[in-house]
Amino acid sequence: MADQIAVTAQLTDYIRHVSLREDEILRELRAETADLPGGTAMQVLAEEGQLLALLAGLVNAHAILEIGTFTGYSTLCLARALPATGRLITCDITDRWPAIGVPYWGRAGVGDRIELRVGEACATLEQMLADEGPGLFDLVFIDADKANYPRYYELSLELVRLGGLIVVDNTLFFGRVADPGAQDADTQGVRELNALLRSDDRVEISMLTMADGITLAHRLT
């Protein structure tokens, strides 16, 4: 059996040439985001946005929760995968960066499907559970501060329906998860979540070595 292939710059260019379908609206949002401090590092890859839309379609998503908006590139990809009557709730600690994405959401014709909730994400999710109960969403995408990943996951597992999907970004966290010397709160948060997922029989999982690591967790119970 072949080992994991090394993805060179040349191979990345080839993959994008034969599979990426990023349109003008997404390209323009990506370019504007790239000019921000840390914009390139914090924004999902175009290929990941395309994967998120595909996954939303596969689970027939009508309701999506996103934890961590930034400038709303992944938000746009996910919202486009919803039916016209679908809804996407996206959570961020500030409205400063999501405001960049709002005009793009409007241009794409999906602004009315998206609701931004601003505030500390754990509190936002806990309030959702208190107000509307569990099992609200078909898909949850987690891409926020890493130290709180274990808590976001537990809350997401309550908020996603049986048979629904949780997608967690940055589960390889720039390779720091495999570096014993990396003991910062963010790295330890990702490590803790990875260990939890490995032994959690409430879900079936697959960690993809795409981008900065993407873990899929399919809720079973």
Q: What's the DSSP call for residue 148?
A: G
Name the amino acid, one letter, at 1: M
* Distance separating alpha carbons of residues 30 and 147, to the nearest angstrom: 26
> Domains of the chain: which residue ranges?
9-219
* Distance separating alpha carbons of residues 199 and 129, to the nearest angstrom: 25
* Distance separating alpha carbons of residues 34 and 173, to the nearest angstrom: 19
* Distance separating alpha carbons of residues 82 and 90, to the nearest angstrom: 14
pLDDT of residue 221: 96
Name the token pair of 214: 């993407």
CATH node for 9-219: 3.40.50.150
* Distance separating alpha carbons of residues 94 and 187, to the nearest angstrom: 23
Q: How many other CB atoms are found less than 10 A from the CB of residue 37?
A: 7
Q: How many other CB atoms are found less than 10 A from the CB of residue 100?
A: 18
pLDDT of residue 3: 82
pLDDT, one tens digit for every residue, the chain (221 residues): 568 888 899 999 999 999 999 999 999 999 999 999 999 999 999 999 999 999 999 999 999 999 999 999 999 999 999 999 999 999 999 999 999 999 999 999 999 999 999 999 999 999 999 999 999 999 999 999 999 999 999 999 999 999 999 999 999 999 999 999 999 999 999 999 999 999 999 999 999 999 999 999 999 99
Element (H, E) at 150: helix 149-159
pLDDT of residue 136: 98
